[in-house]
Amino acid sequence: MPKQKQSAAIYPGCSLRSIFVPTLRENPVNQPIVNAINVSRYFKRGSERVDVLDDLSLQVPEGQFLALMGPSGSGKTTLLNLIAGLDTPSSGEIWVGESLVSKMSESQLARWRTENVGFVFQFYHLLPVLSAYENVELPLLLLPLSSKKRREQVMTALDLVGLHDRSKHIPSQLSGGQQQRVGIARAIVTDPTLIVADEPTGDLDAKSAHEILDLMCTLQRSLNKTILMVTHDPRAAKRADRIQYLDKGQLVDKPEDELYEAG
Ligand SMILES: Nc1ncnc2c1ncn2[C@@H]1O[C@H](COP(=O)(O)OP(=O)(O)OP(=O)(O)O)[C@@H](O)[C@H]1O
Ligand SMILES: [Mg+2]
């Protein structure tokens, strides 16, 4: 894999962009930011072996918004976890930029995730006793930043999701859509290479879901974020640049089950 350069590139079109400059990376033209090569993942349950992903390959260019669909149990979360460095494949390689994620040790992975991946969850995973500000600040506490720099980044992220004025609210004082905005602010506060979102609109009403998808499109278009989103909702998937369906452990362009057709 060619080496990537550290870059002084900044968020295009973002007035607060200078805040995140030191951690942005530049990817060589045509080089996918995610490159999963012949990846298999099976799980053992006693003597039984469950094959979930079977010799699967996936390339995602930098700045692409990819939706991943497929029936329950088809391995969407398993694939997302492998790419995000929460799990390692049984065989095959996973590269994210210049990093061979699939060969990292647990401690290397923990550090790599903190710096490179923002996570968005279906049920937000906010700590109920912490304010929106404190929830967003959490990933930054793992990085060597001054409290001034942390504050700048947290307020930038809350600004980007339109919740500057809710920073002192705890999750129970926020709507579901607002809680997911806090979740997205937490995901982007470290300026990660990748945002992985596992059913981010699965617990929201149609209007809030629409707003969250608008926000994700903004992150992609204005900030050039690469987004991998798992969804069961064909309308949500249609907002992405590209849809891939998991079928029998492989990725396909067309779903076998028409229920999953985003049309
Ligand atoms: N740690 C594990 N141990 C054993 N089996 C597992 C483990 N993790 C996942 N599996 C199995 O792998 C398969 C795929 O699970 P996964 O969670 O990736 O599905 P999914 O496509 O995300 O489903 P859903 O849409 O319901 O979230 C399932 O059969 C599941 O039981
Ligand atoms: Mg899942």
pLDDT score of 31: 72
Q: Domains of the chain: which residue ranges? A: 5-260
Residue 178 Cα to ligand 1 midpoint, Å, equals 29
Higher pLDDT, 194 or 2: 194
CA nearest 8: which of 19, 17, 21, 18? 21
For ligand 1, which residues put their CB under 6 angstroms from it? 43, 45, 50, 52, 70, 72-78
CATH 3.40.50.300 fits 5-260, yes or no: yes
| pLDDT tens digit sequence for 104-160 | 999 999 999 999 999 999 999 999 999 999 999 999 999 999 999 999 999 999 999
CA nearest 101: which of 33, 186, 168, 50? 33
pLDDT band at 260; cut points 50, 70, 90: low
- Token readout for 65 is 């918004």
CB 198 within 8 A of CB 122: yes
pLDDT score of 99: 96
pLDDT score of 262: 61
- Contacts of residues 254-257 at CB distance under 8 Å and 24 or more positions apart, as own/partner, are 255/69, 255/70, 257/71
pLDDT score of 254: 80
Higher pLDDT, 161 or 30: 161
Residue 250 Cα to ligand 1 midpoint, Å, equals 14
